[in-house]
Each structure stands twice: as C-alpha cells, then as structure tokens.
Amino acid sequence: MPELPEVETVCRGLAPHLENRVLRGARVREPRLRWPVPPDLDDLTRGQRVHHLSRRGKYLLAQLDSGTLIMHLGMSGSLRLSSASIAPEKHDHVDLLLDDDRVLRYRDPRRFGALLWSADPAQHPLIAHLGVEPLSEAFNAGSLHAMCQGRSMAIKLLLMDARLIVGVGNIYANESLFHAGIDPRLAAGKLSRPRCARLVAAVQETLAKAIAAGGSSLRDFVDGHGNPGYFQQGYFVYGRTGEPCHACGTLVRQIRQSARSSFYCPHCQRR
C-alpha cells in the first residue's frame, strides 16, 4: 500500500511534468473507484491548466483553473505518464489527457483509490479534518506533547490517527517507535517532552529516508514501462518477528494493536 513517502515521491516526480500543462480532458473507463469518479470529469478538466501539484496526507491535489482534482492511490493505485498511443491495460481506469500527447494514467487493480473534484479542497470532507503534516514545522516536540496530554491510547495508535497526524502508516509508526526507543503500547499521556522530541525526530528521519530511497524509483512511473512498485527498504522491526534486533540481538516481537500488527524490540523499546 502506498504510504506518505510513496505519495510524496509520486508528487515530486509528476509535478514538473504536469505543472503549467493544459488538460485536454479525461477518459474514464471505470468510474467505480472507492467513490464514483465524477461523470463530468471530461468537461471539468478540458482546457484547464494545472497550476500546482501538491500532497496533503496521502492525497495528491492538482490545482486547476476552476477547481482541484483530489487523487488517492488507495491500496494498489498508481499514476504514470505515458504516451497517448500506448493502449490502456485492464486496470487503467482513468486517463487525464495532456496537451503534449501524453496521458496521466490512473491504474488501480483493487479500486480502493479515488479521483474526485472539488472547488474548495481545504473544505472537502476528506481533507478538512486531517491532522498535522509530520514533515512540517508544526509537528514538533511541543505540539506532539500537547496532543498526547491526557490520552490513554497507545502511542502507536496516536501516531497513526490521521485526525491528529497524517500519513504515518503502520510501517513508519513501527520503525519510528523503534528508533525513538519507545514501546508501542505506552500510553500517549505518559510520554515525556524529551521523548516526544526523540519521536518527532525519528518520524521525520524515517519518512525522509524513505522519500530519499523513492527518488531512485522515479523513472518507473514517468516512462510508462515496468511496474511502479512501492519501494521495499530494509526495516529494523517491521515484518521481522522472531528475528534478532539489529541494535541488540533480542528477538523482535509481534503484537496486535487495533487490528494492526506491531513489531518491537522488548530491550530497545521501553514504556
């Protein structure tokens, strides 16, 4: 599943190809994504200039003349630039037609993604209630500590709560807590301010490293060939149940928290 670093990589990779281009419209072959693709997408996008491509949480926002396309990659979605002459394949559900004979092609085998239109994306129900961006200055030791105050929920669940902090998915929550030396079950309200500072640094470094790793995959989604696979990295705890911790050799443990797997080193990560 694409997480924040993948979406950021897609955004950085596509922005120079899309910004200042004019759309010639859209071709919708399958409107049944997580929510229906607007039936008038072709009319909405025809003749519209792409002013800016940005990311909010895991949403990509393409700001056009009279509105914004909100795109989400869901579980299995990808966006690629491709020559208009390349025939779409089975799961290529939507093409946005560019003015240079290329198309931005949305592929999504599982159809959990979204392609929506909004005149005012900041007020859109999917966007309006999103929490702080973890890579922004607004996410810092003070703001995280304030968020944690009085909360008994486990710190890992707080990290993954998109109403508080956006885009820290399961992989990055696990890895960040390892690097900060914090047990994922610790009640958020018990996190001291210095530990909040360590956790903020760990989240930002973990995400930044993943984004940097993603840079090497840019070619995969701008040349229209191959699979735009989500980058696999070496993890410290994620998916390493029963394997020795890279720092201390203690075996990594796995537990369930709110129906998601948590992985942690019982020696390096403390309550």
Please list the active-site residues: 2-3, 58, 260
235 contributes a contact to Zn ion by CB under 5 A: no
247 contributes a contact to Zn ion by CB under 5 A: yes
Q: Based on CB atoms, which residue is closest to Zn ion, 219 or 267?
A: 267
Identify the residue among 245, 262, 263, 264 touching Zn ion (CB under 5 A).
245
Q: Based on CB atoms, which residue is closest to Zn ion, 62 or 245?
A: 245
Q: Based on CB atoms, which residue is closest to Zn ion, 28 or 268?
A: 268
Minimum separation from the CB atom of position 182 to Zn ion (A): 13
Nearest position to Zn ion, beta carbon:
245
248 contributes a contact to Zn ion by CB under 5 A: yes
267 contributes a contact to Zn ion by CB under 5 A: yes
180 contributes a contact to Zn ion by CB under 5 A: no
3 closest CA partner among 226, 203, 154, 153: 203
Minimum separation from the CB atom of position 248 to Zn ion (A): 3
Minimum separation from the CB atom of position 175 to Zn ion (A): 13
Identify the residue among 4, 114, 165, 268 touching Zn ion (CB under 5 A).
268
Q: Based on CB atoms, which residue is closest to Zn ion, 253 or 260?
A: 253
Distance CA(209)–CA(186), nearest Å, equals 25
Axis-axis angle for helices 193-214, 4-18 (nearest 10): 50
Token couple for 245: 């911790």
Distance CA(42)–CA(23), nearest Å, equals 9
265 contributes a contact to Zn ion by CB under 5 A: yes
Token couple for 74: 């869901």
Q: Based on CB atoms, which residue is closest to Zn ion, 42 or 183?
A: 183
Q: Which of 152-160, 168-176, 220-228, 244-252 is the region at the interface with Zn ion (rule: CB under 5 A)?
A: 244-252
CA distances from 259 to 2, 167, 240, 255 (A): 19, 18, 18, 10
Minimum separation from the CB atom of position 244 to Zn ion (A): 8
Q: Please check whether residue 109 is in contact with residue 75, taking contact to mean a CB–CB distance below 8 angstroms.
A: no
Axis-axis angle for helices 193-214, 170-180 (nearest 10): 130
Q: Which of 166-174, 195-203, 208-216, 245-253 is the region at the interface with Zn ion (rule: CB under 5 A)?
A: 245-253
Per DSSP, the three-state class of 7 is: helix
Minimum separation from the CB atom of position 245 to Zn ion (A): 3
Q: Which residues would be at the binding site for Zn ion (CB under 5 A)?
A: 245, 247-248, 250, 265, 267-268
